Chains A and B, each alone.
Chain A
Amino acid sequence: MAGNDNRVGADAVKNGDPAPAGRTALSRRAVLKLGMVGIIGAAVGAGSTAAFARLVRTARPRYRFFSEAEAGLLIDICEQIIPRDDVPGATDTGAINYIDRQLCGALRRHRQAYRRGLESFRRTCLQEYRMPFQDLPAPGKIEALRAIEAGRAPGALWGGPSAQEFFNLVLAHTMQSFYGSPRHGGNRDYASYRMLGLDYPQVVGQNRYRKA
């Protein structure tokens, strides 16, 4: 079984940072920028904290479509859909990258559903559980998501998309990210193909990883 493969487990540990990789990559970019500021600042003798702060503020946003807050919530939802166990889950493999990227491409027509659905979702959690989704204990998150899936949500908060429509959208896109080709932004390191024991690419002898 895929789960018994040590290599997969080791990779999961290596990717152990709970932050999505997009975040990691960005912080690396931010560090680089800050480093350059330091050098320039030293050269002109004006390396003030104000200049630092301005540069951080103008740093390229992490996501094409989502705000930080939206992305944080969506990452947590996706992780419930495909949780990490002994192999990577939605967060590790970049589900947020896939959705964010495709919302600026082929899935553009779903932008409003995400924007409004995430807001409805956020408010539902605050109303029903008196805390943000991210602060719920693990079983509580699953329960909350099951309620959304079943449409058990305050109708007044879901003017469109409906709770079920929103859930089905996120479900489909999370599955696409994890089980589709890595070239679209998800399935990082061929995680799902490794888990299933599938060669990719299919040319004999060309596989880039050890299968489960």
Chain B
Amino acid sequence: MALKHVNAVVVGSGAGGGVVAKELSDAGLSVALLERGDWVSFETHGQDELINQRTTVLGNAYGPDDRSPRVVENARGGWDIVMPNEGGYSNNAACVGSGTVSYGAMAWRYMEKDFRMRSTYGAPEGSTLEDWPISYADLEPFYEKAEWEVGVSGDMSANPFTPPRRRPYPMPAFPYNREGVILEAAARRLGLHPFPIPMLRNSAPYGGRNACVHNRYCCGFACPNNAKNGTWNTVIPRALATGNCALRTHSIASEVVVDDRGRARGVRYFDADGRAQYQTADLVVASGGAIETARLLLNSKSRLFPNGAGNRYDWVGRNLQGHAYCGADGLFEEETFDDVGPGATIAVSDFNHGNPGVRGGAALCNEFIRPPYGFSGMRPPGSPAWGKAHKDYQRRFFKRSVAVRCPVQEMPVFDARIQIDPGVRDSWGIPVARLSGERHPHDIEIGRVIAARAEDWLREAGAAFTWQNLPGRGLSGGQHQAGTCRMGSDPRTSVANKFGQVHDIDNLFIADASLHVTNGGFNPVLTIMALGFWVGSHISEGWKAGGFR
């Protein structure tokens, strides 16, 4: 039986798709929101150190499962089939809300220069570094919407590098934990400008949800207290409450159908019972994340787009990026652990730009609480990995270590990419994504500069012993995956225009980190949400003017 036609079908209910679904529902469009995963809750896996978003040794707590493999290029140039909880898969999540259920919830706005990387620094050889077609000023009102509609706690008054804002955060910043107190004084002695990390968590009751109770394990876990704000507990319930939005879980999209006039007609998917369905719509929004959105477009072949929707110039799936994380660790004589979760409280933005000799940089943030198993692998180079000495180290330093982590902005690389694997299919028979390529060497240079700053900070804070962590050349992506359907004004060097509208397919939009031209020196989620509001607002205006029908 044919499904009832809807105005919009949105594929993916993460940071981008959840927001778009709500914006379109508010504007009066009928919306089908397809999510390949299910609702998840804290109760399923609790605060299990071995099944969560950060440690997946016993599986993915937030999906997907082994029915969704990928193929990844190995070091010998061959191809490995990789399961979702294995390294290299570049997983985000597959559940209602996607990564916003279990994330660390840092709520960064990118800085003005992050939107103008090419004109600020020039592209290094071998990079497709480019400016965004929109500026920070264009996106500012939509950052504000994200902060208020989803809910952010923060205070940027101590950060002179923060871009201008019209409205303060809706909730006050979180206080520093013990690590934060130690690091704040040290940063000031170094002449830096420390400030509390803005968080998509409630420092006070907000939007009918509770205030944070500072669980030890927050980053990587669902919140037992509903104090962490994702799309699943904010905008998606609001979309459903309009009566205009139908959320369909366990729905695996396989193809955007594009007709011979270059118009999207709807989405083919497999429903919870594995039955093939075809949801026709006036417009389609792809919000599956940088890897799955690229896969969906590449799998959507039509007469006008034989290599995939929007892929006339071979840009779909290109420029996969994430963050080249680097940082430093320090060991202290006194206890630094106070068990006040989630642990990451303090940052400096002094090194996001203006680092001599390198392009861009990163925010420096103290790390979330390290669970005992995770800590068992955090050692200075050359330390014993086992035996009595290893156990003694755990005992002595578990509560006496501070880590600083820095999401280094990457230089996009054309050959870091998603393709469709010619042979491997998932459990629904859909050809899977194939990942290949590597990071730009300049990322490593930036990493060295930033890791040295992180180490300086820990030394000044009184660490008795410190060491650096540097990024490798391996392909990036992961939870911060971005860039595979970049926005731009030239259809020959981008996939979508500045409104996320796929070039030459006027009623096919993208609303996720695929659009990011560059990925900032910050965790990307607030920018993805802001883009969701930006794209959603453009669609709504077009719809009200009679478009897309």
Contact = CB atoms under 8 A, between A and B. Distances in A.
Given A3-B395, A180-B49, A85 B388 contact: yes
Contacts of A145: 386
Interface residues of A, number: 36
A198 interface: yes
A171 B386 contact: yes
A114 B50 CA distance: 20
B58 A179 contact: no
Given A2-B395, A176-B57, A184-B50, A202 B216 contact: yes
A83 B388 contact: yes
Interface string A171-189: 1101110011101100000
B215 A202 contact: yes
A3 B50 CA distance: 25
A199 B372 CA distance: 12
B49 A181 contact: yes
Contacts of B493: none
Nearest to B85: A106
A62 B377 CA distance: 31
Interface string B212-249: 00011100000000000000000000000000000000
Given A81-B386, A179-B49, A197-B399, A106 B376 contact: no
Contact of B372 (A80, A171, A193, A201): A193
A91 interface: no
B376 A179 contact: yes
B547 interface: no
B473 interface: no
A202 B47 contact: yes
Contacts of A198: 216, 339, 372
Contacts of B372: 179, 192-193, 196, 198
B541 interface: no
Contacts of B50: 176, 180-181, 184
B373 A179 contact: yes
B398 A80 contact: no
Contacts of B216: 198, 202
Contacts of B399: 196-197
Given A195-B394, A196-B395, A196-B398, A83 B57 contact: no
A108 to B, nearest CB: 10
A195 B49 contact: no
Contacts of A1: 395-396
Interface in A32-91: 80-83, 85, 89
B117 to A, nearest CB: 38
Contacts of B396: 1
B546 interface: no
Contacts of A175: 373, 376-377
Contacts of B386: 80-82, 145, 149, 171, 174
A184 B373 contact: no
Contacts of B394: 179, 192, 195-196
Contacts of A171: 385-386
A156 to B, nearest CB: 23
Contacts of B126: none
Contact of A199 (B83, B339, B377, B385): B339
A161 to B, nearest CB: 16
A142 B387 contact: yes
A81 B59 contact: no
A61 B538 CA distance: 65
Interface string B40-77: 00000001111000000111000000000000000000
Interface in A105-154: 105-107, 109, 142, 145, 149
A172 B57 contact: yes
A140 B87 CA distance: 34
A102 interface: yes
Nearest to B399: A197
A199 B399 CA distance: 13
Nearest to B58: A106
Interface in A189-211: 192-193, 195-199, 201-202
Contact of B391 (A85, A107, A199): A85
A27 to B, nearest CB: 28
A180 B215 CA distance: 17
Contact of B387 (A3, A83, A105, A201): A83
Given A80-B387, A202-B47, A202-B215, A102 B58 contact: yes
A131 B444 CA distance: 48
B371 interface: yes
Interface string B380-394: 000001111011001
A33 to B, nearest CB: 33
A69 B58 CA distance: 26
A111 to B, nearest CB: 15
A195 B375 CA distance: 14
Contacts of B377: 175
Contacts of A193: 372
B58 to A, nearest CB: 4
A40 to B, nearest CB: 42
A181 B391 contact: no
B441 to A, nearest CB: 28
Nearest to A174: B386
Given A175-B373, A176-B373, A196-B398, A184 B58 contact: yes
Contacts of B49: 179-181
Nearest to B48: A181
Interface string A1-43: 1110000000000000000000000000000000000000000
B273 to A, nearest CB: 26
Nearest to B376: A175
A56 to B, nearest CB: 34
B391 A83 contact: yes
A10 to B, nearest CB: 18
A178 B388 CA distance: 14
Given A142-B387, A179-B371, A184-B58, A195 B395 contact: yes
Interface in B374-419: 375-377, 385-388, 390-391, 394-396, 398-399
Closest 5 CB pairs of A and B: A179-B373, A179-B372, A106-B58, A81-B386, A180-B50
7 contacts: A82-B390, A179-B49, A180-B48, A192-B372, A196-B395, A197-B399, A202-B216
Interface of B: 47-50, 57-59, 83, 215-217, 339, 371-373, 375-377, 385-388, 390-391, 394-396, 398-399
Given A3-B395, A172-B57, 8 more contacts: A89-B391, A105-B58, A106-B58, A109-B83, A149-B385, A198-B216, A202-B216, A202-B217
